[in-house]
Structure 1
């Protein structure tokens, strides 16, 4: 995968790389996910009746991060996930694709910039921690962070609107190269107080060779905190790993917020 290691980074949980979630229950389909049409109206998810969690601390955010044991497959933890960047995500969205819908073009540009800069949910307002894992040419990035509640809700609502606003568009890099981007909704298991998933495919060239970058994104809110997992690469998406990572990461965050310590073993509490 093409990278820009010279530019230090950011995120969490993912690469190809940005809400106001209404506190209402989203309609679900038979397999527990929401349809794309429903997601436009409101982000996937429901309001939890669980008691208000405690404040997330820096040590708590770090403890809530996924471990290698939480992920199936041959994922290996890396020491520098903040340095990951993929040049296929760099480009200016072609406004002409949207006719008179300039606002939609701006939303799609924000999506591209957010995937590249690992800040799809905006800047955390409090504690934040990041973990990254690699497997072949695929990468998985997780961020656990505290946010301003209204800003977090706005970000989730924005993510839910993207499959309609940015279903397919073109971006142009500084050399004039074209990238075709497709955005669809991804269903997530019921966890946390609200959630939203995306599947993003970017087709272009890397080092003069045709390349396709596929990213899966999962964002889950727990009170005023959130888990954001992004995974994929030139080998294809990582839907299963991202979905499982978001579910397990949410459980670990809840454990931390309840005053306990997540176990080093999957599914346990110390």
Structure 2
């Protein structure tokens, strides 16, 4: 009796079952590489943490080196400007004050702390510089911040509302001393993708208990300017008890925007 014809169908059925099991295993792993698929002695590929993947919520930011390269120097502002020797005395004597209206209070806080775009880690400045005018007594503080373009533009739009909402208001310093504050719009140089500028004048209007006469009589003028370049921004304050140096503010904006644009072209890093 011959049994070969019976064996062949059984063998074919067995092969079909093996193939079906293999296909099911591949479907279960979604086509991913498994330990059984790799040759013996081969290490599995490293897993990518979700934290290491690019986030759509935050834009890429300048590296610290690129941000430092985009800073201005005293040479950009003209003769007499040099690295600062410390915070100007008028910062505490005149700017450390508050106001009833929230927008006006926020403006005073920005002038005092320099934190135009916020204080959390996402809006921390990438690089800063502080320069003094040894001859005229002015002080210029300069920052580069990387953030979302839409959020930067919202801050610029807020600055644009301040001449209307805080054009003239009274601020109160420590121990009851009052300050007369006036806010006007200034036109920054045509640099970057968007820009906004203010001139804030703070005058010691009255002397409260314990208020220093010098602070009460002082007239401080501060230019506040911010410029967006893509998802990066430069911001500066240029303050003085004397005559404001318009040319220094303009030079800082023009040189800073050009350097920031160049730094962006040299490459960016995901963080």
| TM-score using structure 1 length | 0.68
Asked if the contact 1:58–1:127 (Cα under 8 Å) also holds between the matched residues in 2, the reply is no
- CA distance, structure 2, for counterparts of residue 63 and residue 155 of structure 1: 25
Which residue of the partner structure matches residue 253 of structure 1?
A: 260
Q: Of 196, 209, 213, which residue of structure 2 is paired with 1:208?
A: 213
Shift of 1:250: 0.4
Checking the alignment, whether the CA contact within 8 Å between 1:85 and 1:117 is kept in structure 2 is: no
In 2: Cα distance, 1:82 partner to 1:179 partner = 18
After superposition, the Cα gap between the structure-2 partners of 1:176 and 1:127, relative to the gap in structure 1 and judged at 3 Å, is closer
* Larger relative helix fraction: 2
**Where does 1:221-236 land on structure 2 (aligned, <5 Å)?**
221-236=228-243
The root-mean-square deviation of aligned C-alpha atoms, in Å, is 2.3
Partner of 1:9: none
Matched, 1:69 2:75: yes
Contact 2:117 2:123 in 1 (8 A): no
SS in 2 for 1:175: helix
**1:228 CA drift (Å):** 0.7
Q: Give how far 1:149 is off.
A: 2.7
Q: Which residue is equivalent to 1:133? A: 131
Contact 1:89 1:112 in 2 (8 A): yes
> Does 1 or 2 have the higher relative contact order (CA < 8 Å, sep 6+)?
1
For the structure 1 residues 170 and 259, does the alpha-carbon distance in structure 2 shift closer, same or farther, using more than 3 Å as the test? same
1:264 corresponds in structure 2 to none
Select 1:121's aligned residue among 113, 117, 120. Answer: 117
Q: How many residues align?
A: 198
Query: Structure 1 runs of 4+ off > 6 angstroms?
Result: 81-84
Q: CA deviation at 1:247?
A: 1.2
Distance 1:82 1:147, change over 3 A: farther
Match status 1:148 vs 2:177: no
TM-score of the two chains, using structure 2 as the length reference: 0.67
Give the equivalent residue in structure 2 for 1:219.
Answer: 226
Which residue does 2:178 correspond to in 1? 178
Unaligned runs of 5+ in 1: 1-52, 96-104, 261-270
Q: For the residues of structure 2 that align with 1:135 and 1:87, how far apart are their CA atoms?
A: 19
Is contact 2:85–2:132 with CA below 8 Å preserved after alignment?
no
Match of 1:164 in 2: 164
Alignment deviations for residues 189-226 of structure 1 (CA, whole Å, 9 cap, x no partner): 21100000110100017732210110111110001100
Within-5 A mapping of 1:52-67 = 55-67=61-73
